[in-house]
Amino acid sequence: MRILSLLLLLLTAPALAFGQDSPPMHSHTLEVSPGDSPLRLWLDFENQSEKIHDGSARARVEGGVAPYTYKWSKNSVPLQSDMARGLSEGRTYQITVTDAQGASLSTSFALEAYSVDERINSFFIPVVDWMATVIMADVFALLGLYDNQIYDDAGTALLHPNGDPVRMSIPFVVVWLVLGASFFTLRMGLINFRGFGHALALVRGDYDKPEDKGEVSHFQALATALSATVGLGNIAGVAIAIGLGGPGATLWMIIAGLLGMTAKFVECTLGVKYRTIDPEDGHVSGGPMYYLARGLKAKGMGRLGKVLSVVFAILVVGGSLGGGNMFQANQAFQQLALKFPALEGFGWAFGIVLAVLVGLVIIGGIQSIAKVTEKMVPFMALLYVGTALVIVGMNFDRAGEAFSLIWYGAFSPEALKGGVIGVLVVGFQRAAFSNEAGVGSAAIAHSAVKTDEPVSEGIVSLLEPFIDTVIICTMTALVIIFTGYYDNPTGLDGVQLTSAAFGTVFSWFPYLLMVAVLLFAISTMISWSYYGVKGFNFLFAKLFKSEKTSSRVYYAIFLIFVVIGTTSSLGAVLDFSDMMILSMAFPNVLGLLLLSGEVRRDLRSYMARVKSGEIKRYK
């Protein structure tokens, strides 16, 4: 029943957005039973508007001996404050009031959700919290292998305003991704370095055979996958990492990108190897759903493969509707409204226009998507990197200082809070949108390539994390460092920090960044629609009796969610989507580990045949 209610809310949200007015402020008071405590406590709640995260609670105390301290479970609220703001509707909070003699009184409370946005957000909060306990669990801290408390230079433990200790975390999903990428890099004999030149030759079409089966060229497959990964993670995720770890975070980001190249190679090789091609229309279906099911079945683990493939398909559909759709649409409109305030309140109109534009592309399938992305991706990359190079060039007198900050900052104690943790946690978590190595999504796009050599497309896919992370993310970092914004003097966050750094040279440069954000968002949505429809078809094509009907159902849902994304506050919905995208790494990397032996054999055979001339070069 709860799921049906949520679906109804999601489907009616765009319509409700048309006529939303400022609602009356909701308020009420809760009297807390004192029990044996000499204190009496009342909590006054206010729900300021229909927006999420704008609830407040004020504590009123009688009895005991003043002064009182107020320990709220929201760690940004100071101990001396009797009022907590920015509370999320539907989330449970705690407060403990203590007087000067140590007498205390505690209670839990939750603000009621009223608006559509608030009710959707409150639905997802407990789901996200549960998923986070598994995906983001700090295994090393749980086992007592390190002290996750953060200290200042004098050795004093850092505390949040509410008195809770400040801790760093190494989430399990990050460990899983990093160890997987490191293992593949070693097992494949550093193919991320020795295969780089051959990857460029493949993208140029030097080895293309006209008779190869598939739907798109090597370059088109790479462009489609890149269009999904090059996005807000390159802009906002990098700024967040530098904000946490300083300039030294840049070096660790590059290392993470280089390791991710081999994880991408393994998954895309398997994506082509175990793909299916419809004999009637030549349409290709591939990706983790297929190599998990078919590859593991060939190794005698068919039951495990079937479970992993279904889990992955569910996760990729969820991720495509959230992070690959609603988040992109929401951020595109927010950036546009930031520069043109008159558009505020017209998210629904922008959403409809955006849905039409995206719909015109995705309905044509992978070939239509590839024709757009092969033109859009080079333009986006040149626009963004070119602008960044101009800014770096005009600040080149700071080159020595900048590179010194990057190198020495990467190994300083301060960097360990943000370099390793900030990049390998925030970088892999928030910028799972960035290189997606090990997540498995790109293997779906690469599977459609015209080739009869799976390893060749795996080698092409090496370029994806290199372009996305090593080049584009690094350019963002250099702009922030060269302009001096790594100190973040004005307390900006994410895209705003990058935009401010871009604006230091020419006042109109942030408008170029806005265009880049819009293009990044649209291209990401286009490619993720393809990932989502392949997962949806894997699950439901038989139910709808044809892939064509199944695809139409999915595209209708996808385009509705575009409008929802531009008219809603995302909150826990985005967090839930993040969790689904990150969760894709668990079934995928497990399958890659089990199938890595055959990928290594295929790689050795392929490279030997290239060297001997058996695999011919046509250009």
Q: Residue 550 maps to which CATH number?
A: 1.20.1740.10
User: What is the rounded average pLDDT of the residues 215-240?
Assistant: 72
Rounded to whole angstroms, what are the CA distances from 298 to 380, 403, 468, 473, 588? 41, 50, 34, 39, 17
Which of these, 346, 325, 327, lies nearest to 556 by C-alpha position? Answer: 325
In the chain, % of residues over pLDDT 70: 84
Total domains in the chain come to 2
User: What is the rounded average pLDDT of the residues 293-302?
Assistant: 90
Residue 122 is encoded by which pair of tokens? 């409150």
Which of these, 312, 167, 187, 317, lies nearest to 259 by C-alpha position? Answer: 187
User: Last residue of some domain: 95, 114, 133?
Assistant: 114
The separation between the first and the last C-alpha atoms of the chain, rounded to the nearest angstrom, is 61
Q: Residue 108: give the domain boundaries.
A: 27-114
Task: Give the model confidence (pLDDT) of 443-457 as tens digits.
Answer: 888 888 888 889 988
Q: What pLDDT score does 422 carry?
A: 47
Q: Could you tell me if 210 and 92 lie in one domain? A: no
Is 50 exceeded by the pLDDT of residue 7?
Answer: no
Least confident stretch, 44-48, 194-198, 228-232, 603-607: 228-232
Q: How far apart are CA 470 and CA 463, in angstroms?
A: 10
**In terms of pLDDT, which residue wins out, 363 or 20?**
363
Task: Give the model confidence (pLDDT) of 495-519 as tens digits.
Answer: 677 777 877 777 777 777 778 778 8
**In terms of pLDDT, which residue wins out, 569 or 401?**
401
User: What is the rounded average pLDDT of the residues 1-29?
Assistant: 50
Helices (H) and strands (E) in the chain, counts: 28, 9
For residue 1, being part of any structural domain is answered with no
Phi-psi sector, 371: left (phi>0), alpha (psi -120 to 50), beta: alpha
**Which amino acid, residue 185?**
T
CB 222 within 8 A of CB 460: yes
Q: What pLDDT score does 297 carry?
A: 92
Q: Could you tell me if 237 and 89 lie in one domain? A: no
The helix (H) or strand (E) run that includes residue 477 is: helix 474-482
User: Last residue of some domain: 114, 130, 151?
Assistant: 114
Q: What pLDDT score does 369 carry?
A: 72
CB 218 within 8 A of CB 460: yes
For residue 127, being part of any structural domain is answered with no
Residue with tokens 């402020």: 25
Task: Give the model confidence (pLDDT) of 149-167 as tens digits.
Answer: 777 667 788 888 988 888 8
Q: Could you tell me if 48 and 181 lie in one domain? A: no
For residue 548, being part of any structural domain is answered with yes
Q: Could you tell me if 105 and 202 lie in one domain? A: no
User: Last residue of some domain: 114, 130, 158?
Assistant: 114
Task: Give the model confidence (pLDDT) of 334-376 as tens digits.
Answer: 777 777 777 777 777 888 888 888 887 777 666 667 677 777 7
For residue 430, being part of any structural domain is answered with yes
Q: Could you tell me if 183 and 98 lie in one domain? A: no
For residue 477, being part of any structural domain is answered with yes
CB 580 within 8 A of CB 166: no
For residue 3, being part of any structural domain is answered with no
CB 55 within 8 A of CB 67: no
Q: What is the band of 394 on the pLDDT scale with cuts at 50, 70, 90? A: confident
Report helix, strand or coil for 184: helix
For residue 21, being part of any structural domain is answered with no
Residue 538 is encoded by which pair of tokens? 């894997």
Q: Could you tell me if 509 and 422 lie in one domain? A: yes
Q: What is the band of 266 on the pLDDT scale with cuts at 50, 70, 90? A: very high
Angle at 453 between CA 449 and CA 455, to 5 degrees: 95
Q: What pLDDT score does 18 carry?
A: 46
Q: Could you tell me if 425 and 531 lie in one domain? A: yes
For residue 131, being part of any structural domain is answered with no
Q: What is the CATH number of the domain that holds 37?
A: 2.60.40.1080
